[in-house]
C-alpha cells in the first residue's frame, strides 16, 4: 500500500516540483519580457493565441480539433486592450503566488483575488467572473500551460466506480469497494496527483447522468462485465474527460458512451471524442478519438420495440443543432453518423436512456448494453 | 472488515426486508381499499395529506416544521381529480413492482414507466415529469412511507471526506483515505444501506459549494481539526441532509455550516435546520434543529477588514427574500438572526465565502473558521 501522505507519493511530488518549476519559468519569462520592453521605452504587449472557431483546425489524421497558429496582440497603450492587458497581468501575478505557496484555487476565488478598485480611480479590475475566466484561458494558451499547471481547479464533478485501484495524493482507493456512493471525479487528475494501480477492467462505460449511473451500479454492471463505470453529470467537465483519456491512453481501455439520442447527447459525444472549439488547445490532453457511441440510437425505437410514449418531439432548436452537428467536418465524412442523424430528423423525436425502462427496470443493464457490446454495435 | 456483498451485511439486509414488507402491506392495503369500494359500488377515492404552506406547522418545542393533519380527497368520479387519481394508481402499481423485484428507480425512470397513452384514447397518463414527481410525493405522505422506502432514488449529490469509516452496502470505506476526490454522497443513506463504523471526528463542517470543499480538503482541514467535511453542491439534496442528520443524531456530532452571506445561504441553513415546507412530512428525518451557522456573517466586512471589492449589491429580489426569511416563525423570535438579517439589509450587499481569499488563499481554513470555532462564534 502506498505511504499515506497529504502531498502524495515522493515520486509524484518530485514530478510536481519539476512541472511547477517549468510553469514558473514560463510565467517569469513572459513578465520579464513585458518589463524589459517597458524599461527600454517600448510598448508593453503580449501575443495571445486566438481561441476562436476560425483558429480551430480539424486534424483528420489525428481525429482531433486543434488550435491554429493565429494570435492577437494585447497592448497596454491601446484603449481597447489596456484593460485586458492589465487583467492578464493581475491574474499572472496571483498565479505566481499560488505556485509559490503550493496552493490551488477555484476560478471564483481567483476572480476575487484579482478584483479590486484601481487606486485613485473608480475603475474595477474585474466586474464579474465572466470577464475573469476567459483571461485565465488566455493565460493557459499564452504560456502553453494547462489550468492544472496554473494551480486552478474547478468543482469535482462526475462519479466513478469499478474494477480499478487508484492512488490519489498518496491515498490508495479501491474503486471496487465504494458501495452505492462511488468516488467523485476530481477536477485535477494529472499523473502527478492520481496514479493507476491494479486494474482488471476491460473497458469504461461512460453514462451521461448520475441517475443512470445509479441504475448500473445497483445492478453491479461493472462487476459482472468487468469494467469501470463513470458519469459526467451531463456535459463532462475537464477532469472527467481527462480521466477518461488517461484510462484510454495509459490503460488501453475502450471508452464506451451511453448517452441520450438527441443533439445534446451527440454533442457530448463529439466533445469527448474530438474536443471542443473553446478548449481546442487542450485536445491532445482531453480528446479520445476512438471513443464509441453505443446508444441510444435512433433505430432503437423500432429495434427495441419501444412504445410511442418514449418519444419526445424534436423542437426547432433541436433540428437546427442536429444539422449543425451533421455539418461538423468530423461527422461529415462519417456515413454511419450521417445516417444516424438523418434518422433522428426523419423520426422527428428524441429518446432518453431512461426510456428503456419501458422494457423493464434493468433492461438497459441486463439486455441492451450487453447485447450491443457483444455485437460491437456502436458508432465510432 | 465487513464481509463484501452486493446487498450489504446480513443484518442490514434483514432490516431491509422488514422495511419492505411494511411498505408493501401499506401499499396493498390502500389498493385493496380502493378495490373494495369499487366492488361495493362506492366511489373509489383516496385521502391525500396536503403538502401546502397552510398545512405546515412550526413546532417550536421541537424546532422543526411539521405537516398538519389536513387532507384532500382524491376521487375517481370527479373531472378535476380523475386524472390525478389514475396517475396515483399507475405509480403505486410500478412502485409495487420495484419492491417485489428489489430494484430502485430514479424519478425520471418512474415517470417513463408510468407514461403511456390510455388505450382507445389520445390521452397520456403523464405528459411530463413535472406532473409525475408531485404524485410520488403524494404517495409518500399518503402511505407515510419515505421515498427510499418506495425504492425511489435521486442523483448522488454532494461530497464527503474526513475522520470516519462507513460501511456502504457492505463495502467498508475509510473516508480518511480519499485523496483529492472524496466520496459522492448517495441519494439513499438509510441505516439499512449505510452504517457508521469508527469515527474520531468531533464535528461536521458543511460548506455550500464543491470548490470551497476543495479548498478545505487541500488544506487538510478535516485532519487538522478532526472533523468530517461535507458539501451539498448548493442546496443540499435529501441524501445529504439525511446523512448530516444521522451524523448529528447517531454520532452526536455538531453540524457547523459555512454558507454565503446572502438570502440563498440563509435559506439553505433554514432548510438544513428546520426543514422545508414542501418536505415538511420529512422533517423528523431530515431537520437538524441544533445546526449552527458559522458564517459568512454580515459583520465580517468590518471584522475581517475586507475591501470594497467583496461587496455584491443586494438586488430587489434579495431584499424581498431577506424580509421573507426574517418573518419565518423560527427566525422571528431569534434576536441574533433578526440582527444578522437587518445588518445584511443595512449593509446593502452580500458576500460569498470565496471573497475571504482577499485575506489570503487559506485565510478561511487557517484563520477564519478555526477562530470562529474556538470562540463558538456562530448563530444557532
- DSSP letters spanning A25-51: HHHHHHHHHHHHHHHTTPPPEEEEE--
For residue B55, pLDDT over 90 is answered with yes
Query: Cβ of B220 under 8 Å from any chain A Cβ?
Result: yes
User: Considering CB atoms only, which of A173, A308, A354 is closest to B112?
Assistant: A354
Give A379's DSSP letter.
B
Does the CB of A69 have a partner CB in chain B at under 8 Å? no
- Which B residues in the span 226-245 are in contact with A, Cβ-Cβ below 8 Å? 233
Which of these is catalytic: B112, B267, B269, B301? B112
The 3 state secondary structure assigned to B75-141 is ECCCCCCHHHHHHHHHHHHHHHHHHHHCCCEEHHHHHHHHCCECCCCCCECCCCHHHHHHHHHHHHH
User: Cβ of B14 under 8 Å from any chain A Cβ?
Assistant: no
The per-residue b/e assignment along A193-232, b for 16 or more CB within 10 angstroms, e otherwise, is bbbeeebebebbbbbbbbbbbbbbbbbebbeebebbbbbb
Among candidates B153, B180, B212 on the partner chain, residue whose Cβ is nearest the Cβ of A188: B180
Rounded to an integer, the average pLDDT of B16-29 is 92
Q: Which of A104, A181, A308 to mutate to test the interface with B (most CBs of B within 10 A)?
A: A181
Residues of A in contact with B365 (CB under 8 A): none
A262-273 mean pLDDT: 96
Q: What Rg do the C-alpha atoms of chain B give, in angstroms?
A: 23
Say whether B101 and A355 touch across the interface (CB within 8 A). no
Mean pLDDT value of segment B237-256:
97
Q: Are A40 and A48 in contact (CB under 8 A)?
A: no
Quickly state the pLDDT bin for B2 (edges 50, 70, 90). very low
Q: Is A112 a catalytic residue?
A: yes
A99-122 per-position pLDDT tens digit: 999 899 999 999 999 998 888 888
Mean pLDDT of A6-26: 80
Cβ pair A357:B105 closer than 8 A = yes
Nearby residues of A295 by Cβ (< 8 Å), 6 or more positions away = A258, A259, A261, A353, A368, A369, A372, A378
Segment A328-362, tens digit of pLDDT: 888 888 999 999 999 999 999 999 999 999 999 99
Mean local confidence (pLDDT), A306-334:
92
Spatial distance between the Cα atoms of B255 and B271, rounded to a whole number of angstroms: 13
Of the partner residues A171, A309, A361, the one whose CB lies closest to the CB of residue B117: A309
A173 SS3 class: strand
Using a CB–CB cutoff of 8 Å, tell me whether A108 touches chain B: yes
Give the residue-averaged pLDDT of A277-299.
94
Q: Single out the residue of A111, A113, A114, A34 nearest to residue A77, CA to CA.
A: A34
Contact map slice: A 129-158 vs B, CB within 8 A = 153-157
- Any CB–CB contact under 8 A between A354 and chain B? yes
Over residues A197-214, the pLDDT tens digits come to: 999 999 999 999 999 999
Partners of residue B111 in chain A, C-beta under 8 Å: 354
pLDDT score, position A1: 37
For chain B, what percent of residues have pLDDT higher than 70? 98
Helix H or strand E segment including B98: helix B82-101
CB-CB neighbors (< 8 A) of A172 in chain B: 177
Mean pLDDT value of segment A304-314: 94
- Structure confidence at residue B3 (pLDDT): 41
Q: Please judge whether A214 and B104 are an interchain contact, meaning their C-beta atoms are less than 8 angstroms apart.
A: yes
Task: Please say if the pLDDT value at position A15 is more than 90.
Answer: no
pLDDT at A5 over 50: no
Shortest Cα distance from A126 to chain B (angstroms)?
9
Predicted confidence (pLDDT) at residue A2 exceeds the cutoff of 80: no
Residue B169: pLDDT over 80:
yes
Mean pLDDT, rounded, for A216-240: 96
Distance CA B154, CA B248 (A): 23
Q: Report pTM.
A: 0.93
List Cα–Cα distances, B22 to A106, B19, B146, B151, in angstroms: 47, 5, 12, 13
Which ipTM value was assigned to this complex? 0.91
> Which residues in chain B are closer than 8 Å to A186, comparing Cβ atoms?
179-182
Name which of A155, A290, A294, A181 is nearest A235 in CA terms: A155
Which of A105, A179, A309 faces B168 most closely, judged by CB atoms? A179
Do the Cβ atoms of A111 and B309 come closer than 8 Å?
no
Residue B59: φ, ψ to 5°: -90, 100
Cα nearest neighbour of B224 on chain A = A6
Residues sharing a CB contact under 8 Å with residue A18, sequence separation 6 or more, in sequence order: none
Whether pLDDT at B348 is above 70: yes
**pLDDT tens-place string over residues A140-150:** 999 999 898 99
Domains recognised in chain A with CATH numbers: 10-42+79-153 (1.10.10.10), 155-258 (3.40.1360.10)
Three-state DSSP state, B320: helix
Amino acid at each position: 500500500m502506498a505511504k499515506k501522505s497529504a502531498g502524495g507519493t515522493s515520486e509524484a511530488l518530485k514530478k510536481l516540483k519539476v512541472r511547477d518549476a517549468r510553469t514558473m519559468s514560463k510565467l517569469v519569462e513572459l513578465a520579464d519580457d513585458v518589463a524589459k520592453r517597458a524599461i527600454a521605452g517600448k510598448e508593453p504587449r503580449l501575443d495571445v493565441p486566438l481561441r476562436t472557431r476560425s483558429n480551430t483546425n480539424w486534424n483528420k489524421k489525428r481525429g482531433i480539433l486543434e488550435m491554429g497558429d493565429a494570435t492577437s496582440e494585447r497592448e497596454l497603450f491601446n484603449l481597447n486592450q489596456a484593460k485586458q492587458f492589465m487583467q492578464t497581468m493581475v491574474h499572472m501575478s496571483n498565479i505566481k503566488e499560488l505556485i509559490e505557496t503550493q496552493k490551488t484555487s477555484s476560478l471564483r476565488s481567483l476572480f476575487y483575488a484579482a478584483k479590486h478598485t484601481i487606486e485613485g480611480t473608480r475603475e474595477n479590475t474585474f466586474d464579474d467572473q465572466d470577464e475573469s475566466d476567459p483571461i485565465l484561458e488566455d493565460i493557459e494558451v499564452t504560456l502553453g500551460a494547462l489550468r492544472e499547471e496554473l494551480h486552478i481547479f474547478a468543482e469535482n464533478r462526475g462519479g466513478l466506480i469499478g474494477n480499478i485501484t487508484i492512488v490519489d495524493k498518496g491515498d490508495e482507493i479501491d474503486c471496487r469497494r465504494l458501495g452505492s456512493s462511488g468516488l467523485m471525479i476530481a477536477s485535477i487528475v494529472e499523473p502527478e496527483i492520481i496514479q493507476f494501480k491494479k486494474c482488471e477492467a476491460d473497458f469504461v462505460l461512460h453514462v451521461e447522468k448520475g441517475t443512470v449511473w445509479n441504475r448500473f451500479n445497483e445492478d453491479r454492471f461493472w462487476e459482472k462485465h468487468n469494467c469501470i463505470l463513470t458519469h459526467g453529470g451531463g456535459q463532462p467537465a475537464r477532469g472527467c474527460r481527462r480521466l477518461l483519456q488517461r484510462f484510454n491512453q495509459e490503460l488501453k481501455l475502450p471508452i464506451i458512451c451511453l448517452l441520450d439520442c438527441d443533439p445534446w447527447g451527440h454533442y457530448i459525444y463529439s466533445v469527448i471524442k474530438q474536443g471542443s472549439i473553446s478548449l481546442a488547445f487542450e485536445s491532445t490532453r482531453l480528446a479520445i478519438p476512438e471513443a464509441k457511441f453505443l446508444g441510444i440510437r435512433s433505430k432503437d425505437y423500432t429495434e427495441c420495440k419501444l412504445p410511442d410514449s418514449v418519444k419526445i418531439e424534436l423542437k426547432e432548436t433541436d433540428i437546427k443543432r442536429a444539422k449543425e452537428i451533421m455539418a461538423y467536418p468530423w461527422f461529415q465524412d462519417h456515413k454511419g453518423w450521417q445516417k444516424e442523424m438523418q434518422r433522428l430528423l426523419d423520426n422527428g423525436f428524441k429518446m432518453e436512456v431512461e426510456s428503456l425502462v419501458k422494457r423493464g427496470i434493468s433492461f438497459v443493464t441486463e439486455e441492451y448494453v450487453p447485447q450491443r457490446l457483444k455485437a460491437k454495435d456502436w458508432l465510432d
